[in-house]
Structure 1
Amino acid sequence: MEQPLKHQHLLLGLLCCFLTIPAAVSAQSVQGPQQEFAVINYEGTALTQLYGQNALDKIEQIPGFSLSQSTANRGLAAAGGNVLINGAVPASKSESLRQILSQLPKAQIVEIHFYSAGHPFTSASQFTQVVNIITHDNVATTNWQARSKLTSAYQSYRPSELATQISLPTATWQHQINAHYQDERHQSVSTLHAYSAQNLLTEVGREDFFEKLNSRLLSLSSTRNHEHSRLVLSAKTLNEDWQTDFIRPYGKTHAELTQLWQYNESIDTREHELSADWQHQSNQDKQVQFVALHSKKTTDNDSLSRDTGESPDIFKQYKTHQEQVIQFNLNVPSITYKPELGLEISRNQLDATTHTGDEVLISKVSEMRYQPFFAFTHTLNPQWQLYTRINAEHTKLSSGRQNTHRSNLNFIKPLVRLSYEPTSNWDMVLTAQHHVDQLDFNHFVASQNAGFERSQSGNNRLLPSQYSELAAQFNVRPTDKLFMNLKMYQQWQKDIHEIITLDNGKSGLGNAGSATLLGAELALTWDTDAWLSGSQLSVDYQYENAHYRDPLTGTRATTGLTPHSTSIEFRRDMPDHSWGVDIYLPESATYYYQDEVFIERDHIEVNAFAEYQVFASLRVNVKIAALNTAKFTYDQTFYSPQRGEEYDGGMRFDERVDPVITLSLLGTL
C-alpha cells in the first residue's frame, strides 16, 4: 500500500523541479483565432522550412509536438487524434490518421497552427496539444508516388506501393481522388530451443516466417465552401488480402530436424464507408457541426496448421461488422464561458461464425450508444485558462448467440484542464479526468495465435476498463536551440483487462480488478544548425510503471507493459536534399497468460533515409530499414497447472530480420 504513495511524492517532486527552470528566451508565439489560446503559426517561409512532401512529414518536424491517434474501434473517434484539417477531425474508419495525413500533399497546405497548451476545438478537447492544418481551395494538383523494395527474399524486383492524389476544382466543389495499391512483404528467420521442466534441452529447430499484405484503396472526397459553411462528402472502399506462413523444421538435435510444423493463414477484408461532415459558423460566431457515417466491414479468416504424424487443425472465422454514427456539436465562443455541447449516437453490430475443430460457434454483439457532452471555458486571467467538460455515456449492449446477455452501461466522464501560458519561454497544463476505454468486439469471439500455440475463448460478459488520471505537461524552451516537452501522469485503473479463466473453464480476456500506473514522456528537439546547417537532433523517451495485484503470483505489472522506450533521430534538411538516421534502443514487454509468462525483447535497431530533389516536380527517396539487422527475442515460460506454480519448461525464439532497401519516386504534375 505504500508504493502508490511514493509515486505520488515522486510526481510532485518532479513537478516542483521542473517549475524552477529559469526563463531565458521568450517563446515565439502569436494569438490564434481566439485570443485566450497561444498558437505558433507556420506559413510562408516557416511552412517551407518544415521539410516534407505531405502533411504527415511536416507536422513530424514541429518541435515539441507528438502525434496522438485514437485507439477506439467504434464511433467517429476511430481515426481521430490531435491533428485537425480545417478545424475538423477527419471522419474515416477505413484509414488511420497517419494514412490520411500522408495523402495530403504539401501543395494543398496553406498554414499549420500548433497549439501547445489549450485550443478552441471541441472535437479534440481530450488532447492538450493540437495541430490544425489549413488547406487551399480551388487548386488543381496531381501528386503520385511509387515505391519498390530493392532487397527481397521472395521474388524478383517488383513495385511494392503505388499511390496518387488528384485534386480537381470546379465552380462550386473541390474534389480529391486518392488511389493506393500496396504489395507489402516481410520475412524473418528464427532459431528455437525448447526446454523441459528439468531445464534440459529437448528440441531445437528453425522457423521461416513469411507475411504478405496486398491492399487496394480508392476514395473520393468532395468539399463545398460557402461564405460561412463547409460541406465535405466522402466515399471509400478498401480491400485487403493478408497472408502469413510459418515453416518450422525441428528435432532433438540440429542434425536431426525430422519433424515439420507448418501454419498457413489468410485474412480477406472488405470495407466500405460513406460520410458527410457539415460545419457552419454564423455572424454571431456560433459554430455548428453535423457528421454522419456509415461503414460495413467483412473479414474472412482461414487457417490450417499441420504437424508431422498428426491430423491438421482447421480454424475458420467469418465476421461482419456494421456501424452507423451521427454526431452533433454546438459551440458559442462569443458568450460568457464559451459553452459547447454535443451528442453522438452510434449503432454497431458484429456477427461472427467460427469453425474450430468439430465445434461451430455463433457469436453476435450489438450495441446502441448515446454520448452527450457539455463543456465551458473560463478565462481566470490573461495567463490562466480553465476548461471543463462533462461526458456521459449510456450503452445498451447485447451479446451471445441469441443476444442472451444484456447490459445497460452508464458512465460519467469528467475532464478538467488548467492551462498556464505566461509571456515567457514555457507553458504548463494540468489535467484531471476519468476515462472509459471502448470495448473491442473482437474479444467477444474466439481467437487464436497459432505461432505461439495459444487460443482464447470469447467473453460475452466483458466490461470496459476505465481509469482516473492526474497529469501535468510542460513545454519549455531554455534556449533558442532547444525545445523540451515533459508529461507526467498517474492513473488509477479499474476493471482492467487480463487473461483469466472464464466461467466456461477456458482462458480469455476478462475484467481482473484494479491497478495503478505511473508514467512519464519526455521529448527533446535540439537545433544543431551551428554544427551542421539545417540539422536537428530529436530524442523521445517514455516510461511506465504499473502495479497490479495478481491472485496467482502477487503484485506485478499489467500485461503488455513496456517500461522503457527510447528513440533518437538526427536529420538534416536542405532545400534540395535531406538525410537522417533513426535509432531505436532495446525495449521489452511482458505478457501474462494462465499457464505462461511471455517476454518479447527488441534489440537496438538503426534505420536511415536520404532524399534528393532531381527536378522541381520529382524527388527520389531511399530508405534502409534494419540497417544493423533487426533482432528480436521471444521467451515462453510454462507452468503446471497454472502460472505461479510448478515450472514446466520453456521455449526461446531468436528472430532476425535482414536489412531492406526501399526506393521511392515522388512527383507532382
Structure 2
Amino acid sequence: MEKSLNNRLSILGALLFIWAVPTCAKAQDATGAPQFAVTHYDGQALDQLYGQNALDKIEQIPGFALSQNTASRGLTAAGGNVLINGAVPASKSESLSQILSQLPEAQITALHFYSAGHPFSGASQYNQVVNVLTHASAITTHWQARSKLTSAYQPYRPSELAVQMTVPMETWQHQINAHYQDDRHQSKSVIASQSAQHITTEVGHEDFFEKLNSRLLSWRSTRQHTHSRFTVAAKTLQEDWQTDFYRQYGIADHALNQTWLYNESIDTQEYELSTDWLKQFAKGKQLQLVALHNKKTTNNHALARDSGEPNDAFKQYKAHQEQVLQFSFNAPHSTWKPEVGIEISHNQLDAMTHNSDNQIVSHVSETRYQPFAAFTYILNPQWQLYTRLNTEHTKLKSTTTYTHRSDLNFLKPLIRLSYESKQDWDFALTAQHQVDQLEFNHFVASQDAGFDRSQSGNSQLQPNQFSELAAQFNARPTDALFINLKLFHQWQKDIHEIITLPNGKAGLGNAGSATLLGAKLSATLNTEQWLSGSQLSLDYDYATARYLDPLTGTRATTGLTPHSANLEFRRDMPDYSWGIDINLPESATYYYQDEVFIEHDHTEINAFGEYAVSNSLRIKLSVSALNTARYTYSQTYFDAMRGEKYDGETRFDERVEPVFTLSFTGSL
C-alpha cells in the first residue's frame, strides 16, 4: 500500500514539476490559437478516400487508428477520437462506429486529421483526432440495404435496412435514423476429449446458431447560431438475441448416442434522451453543458438439456439506469488555454437471477463526481505541453446476501509533450495514471454454457488501475509511405483475474499487480506507381505481460493476445473500388481456477468490390471468410486447482463458411 502511494505521489510530483517548467519559457504565440499538425481532406483529397459514409473514409486515413469506448458509464470516457463538427457524439445506445456509419458521404465537407495534439477539449485524452465537418444541405434521404448469402443459412437471407433523413429548417437541422437488422451466424465444430492418460474419452460434433434482430429509431435536432449550438437527441433500441447449441456426442469408437441442447434468448430494450448546449464568448471562450438519461432492461432465459440429466434452467432480469450531467469551460486563446469542468453521474443496476432452484437478488448503485482541470502551453511553434488532472470520488453500494459500501477516491494525472516537426514527422510522449471503470455485470452471477463454466458475482470488486508511459511517432519518410508507431509500458494494480471468492466460488476478483509492455505499428504504402489508385496497409499489435500467479508462478495476464496483424490491399477509382483483407493467425489465453482456455484464430481472408452505378446509387459485394474461417478452442483441466494434477483436455475445431453480403446505398 505504501509503495503504491509513493508511486502516485511520484507521478503527481512529476506533473507539478513539468507543469512549472514552462513558466521559465516564453511562448511565441501566447494569445493566439495553438498551432497543430493537421492534414486536411477536402475536395479531391476527400473524394480519394473512397467510401459510402464517414466510417469508410476515416478507416482509410493513413496512420489513424479509431478508438472508441462504448461500455463506459458517464460521458468522460465515452465517445472516442472522432468528432463531428468539433463535438463528441453523446450516445450510450450506439457506438462511435455506428454513428459514423450513419453519416453519409454526401453530408461530409472535410476531414481534418490531427496526428499529435489538437484543440478539442472533448477528446483531450487522445493524441490523434479526426474532426468530421458537415454541411446543412437541402432535404435529403439516404438509405442502405444489405442482404447476406451463405450455404450455412440454406434458404434464409439475413437482411439489413437503414434510412436517414435530414431536414434543415431555418436555424434548425433535424435528422432521423431508422435501422433494422436481422442477422445470423452459424458454425460447425468437431469435439474431442481425452483423459489424464491421453486416451480419447469422448467425441462429437456441434452445430452453433446465433440470431440477432434489432430495431433502432433515433432523432437528433440541432439549432446552430453564430455563437451557440443546441442539440437534443432521443433513441430507442430493441434487440432480440438468440443462440442455440446442438451437440451429439458419445464414447470414442461408439455411436454418438447422447445429445446436449442449449437454447438461450436475451431480449433488450433501451431508451435514451440527451441534450448538448455549447456557448461561445469573446476571445474563443466556450461553455458546454451536456445531460443524458439512459434506461436499459435485459431479460435472459436459458435452458440446457443433456441425455440422462435433469434440465438446467438459468433466468436473469436486469434493469440499468444512468443519469449524467457534464459541465466544461475552456479558453483556447488564453496563455495557458485552461479547461475546467465536472461530471456527475448516477448509475443503478437491479438484477434477479434464478439458477439451479436458487434465487439471487442483486443491487448495485454508484454516484460519481469527476472534476478536472487541464492546461496547454505552447513552448514554441514545434513544442507543446498538455497537462490534465482528473479526480474522482465515487460512492459504490452493492447488495446480494449482504451490503458492501465503498468510498473510492482517485487522482488521474496526464502529461503529454508533443513535437511537430517542420518536416514530415512528429511525436508525442505521454505519462498518465488511469482507473478503469467497473463493469456492473461482474457484480452478478453469469454463465458460459458453451464451455461449461459459471461465475459468481463479486460485490467487493475494486477497479483496475494502471500507470503508463507511452511514446507515439508519426513519420512520412517518402511521399508514398506513412508510418505510425506507438510504444507503451504499463504498471497495473488491482488487476482482474478469476479467483476463489470468499463464498468459495470462482469469480472475477482483484488479484494484485502486473506489468504490460506493448507496441502498435501502422504503415500505409501508396502503390500508385504500380497500380493507379492503390495502397497497401499493415497493422500489427504486440503485447507481453508479467503477472505473479499464486497457483502457477509468473505468467501473462488473462485474455492477452501477444500478436495481432492485418494486411489490406485496395484500389480506389472514381467509379469503383475493390480490395482484399487478410487477418493473420492470433491466439489468446484465459486462466480459470481449474482450467486453461486457449482460443486460436487461423488466417482469414476477406474481400470486397464496389461500383457506383450513378451519383445516387452504389452497389457493394463483400465476402467474409473467403477461405472458410477456422477457430480452435482448447480447454486443459486440472485437479483440483490450476497448476496441480493434469486432468485431461477438450478441443473444439470450429469452421465458418464464407458469407457474401450484397449492399445497396442510395440517396433521394
TM-score (norm 1): 0.94
Q: Which amino acid aligns with 2:538?
A: V
Task: Say yes or no: does 1:401 pair with 2:386.
Answer: no
Match in the other structure for 1:649: 648
Q: Check whether the contact 2:34–2:119 (CA below 8 A) recurs between aligned residues.
A: no
CA drift of 1:42 comes to 1.1
CA drift of 1:79 comes to 4.5
- 2: CA distance, partners of 1:138 / 1:408: 50
Task: Say yes or no: does 1:599 pair with 2:601.
Answer: no
Q: Tell me: CA distance 1:216–1:500, structure 2 relative to 1, closer, same or farther (3 Å).
A: same
- 1: CA distance, partners of 2:495 / 2:106: 45
Q: Check whether the contact 2:336–2:376 (CA below 8 A) recurs between aligned residues.
A: yes
- 2: CA distance, partners of 1:152 / 1:171: 51
1:41-96 C-alpha deviation (Å, 9 max, x unpaired): 11111111111110001111111111011254311156410000111110000000
Q: Which amino acid aligns with 2:125?
A: Q
Which residues in structure 2 correspond to 1:434-583 (within 5 Å)? Answer: 434-583=433-582
CA drift of 1:37 comes to 1.4
Match in the other structure for 2:324: 325
- 2: CA distance, partners of 1:132 / 1:458: 41
Match in the other structure for 1:11: none
Task: Say yes or no: does 1:363 pair with 2:359.
Answer: no
Which residues in structure 2 correspond to 1:52-91 (within 5 Å)? Answer: 52-77=51-76, 79-91=78-90
Which residues in structure 2 correspond to 1:232-247 (within 5 Å)? Answer: 232-247=231-246
- 2: CA distance, partners of 1:417 / 1:613: 44
Match in the other structure for 2:172: 173
Q: Which amino acid aligns with 2:152?
A: A
Which residues in structure 2 correspond to 1:244-259 (within 5 Å)? Answer: 244-253=243-252, 255-259=254-258
Q: Check whether the contact 2:250–2:256 (CA below 8 A) recurs between aligned residues.
A: yes
Moved more, 105-114 or 477-486: 105-114
- 2: CA distance, partners of 1:471 / 1:521: 11
CA drift of 1:150 comes to 2.2
Match in the other structure for 2:181: 182
Q: Check whether the contact 2:208–2:246 (CA below 8 A) recurs between aligned residues.
A: yes
Match in the other structure for 1:124: 123
Q: Check whether the contact 2:70–2:92 (CA below 8 A) recurs between aligned residues.
A: no
Match in the other structure for 1:41: 40
- 1: CA distance, partners of 2:326 / 2:497: 33
Q: Give the match's secondary structure for 1:284.
A: helix
1:298-325 C-alpha deviation (Å, 9 max, x unpaired): 0000000010011000000000000000
Q: Which amino acid aligns with 1:544?
A: A
Match in the other structure for 2:222: 223
Gaps of 5+ in 1: 1-32
Q: Check whether the contact 2:107–2:137 (CA below 8 A) recurs between aligned residues.
A: no
Q: Give the match's secondary structure for 2:152.
A: coil
Match in the other structure for 2:22: none
Q: Check whether the contact 2:632–2:654 (CA below 8 A) recurs between aligned residues.
A: yes
1:525-562 C-alpha deviation (Å, 9 max, x unpaired): 00001000000000000000000000000000000000
Q: Check whether the contact 1:146–1:159 (CA below 8 A) recurs between aligned residues.
A: no
1:575-617 C-alpha deviation (Å, 9 max, x unpaired): 1000000000000000000000000000000000000111221
CA drift of 1:358 comes to 1.1
Gaps of 5+ in 2: 1-31
Q: Give the match's secondary structure for 1:240.
A: strand
- 2: CA distance, partners of 1:235 / 1:645: 54
Q: Tell me: CA distance 1:435–1:594, structure 2 relative to 1, closer, same or farther (3 Å).
A: same
Match in the other structure for 1:272: 271
Q: Check whether the contact 1:566–1:584 (CA below 8 A) recurs between aligned residues.
A: yes
Q: Give the match's secondary structure for 1:153.
A: helix
Match in the other structure for 2:665: 666
- 2: CA distance, partners of 1:224 / 1:474: 39
TM-score (norm 2): 0.94
Q: Tell me: CA distance 1:324–1:56, structure 2 relative to 1, closer, same or farther (3 Å).
A: same
Q: Which amino acid aligns with 2:459?
A: N
CA drift of 1:402 comes to 7.4
Report the RMSD for the aligned CA atoms in angstroms: 1.1
Q: Give the match's secondary structure for 1:178.
A: strand
- 2: CA distance, partners of 1:586 / 1:53: 30
- 2: CA distance, partners of 1:158 / 1:97: 27
Match in the other structure for 2:101: 102
Match in the other structure for 1:21: none
Match in the other structure for 1:296: 295
Q: Which amino acid aligns with 2:344?
A: I
CA drift of 1:138 comes to 4.3
Q: Check whether the contact 1:150–1:660 (CA below 8 A) recurs between aligned residues.
A: yes
- 1: CA distance, partners of 2:395 / 2:156: 52
Spell out structure 1 runs of 4+ moving beyond 6 A.
none
CA drift of 1:334 comes to 2.0
Q: Tell me: CA distance 1:152–1:215, structure 2 relative to 1, closer, same or farther (3 Å).
A: farther
1:159-203 C-alpha deviation (Å, 9 max, x unpaired): 510011110111221011100000010000000001111111000
- 2: CA distance, partners of 1:668 / 1:78: 34
Q: Tell me: CA distance 1:457–1:402, structure 2 relative to 1, closer, same or farther (3 Å).
A: closer
Match in the other structure for 2:7: none
Q: Which amino acid aligns with 1:580?
A: G
Which residues in structure 2 correspond to 1:203-222 (within 5 Å)? Answer: 203-222=202-221
CA drift of 1:155 comes to 4.8
- 2: CA distance, partners of 1:198 / 1:34: 71
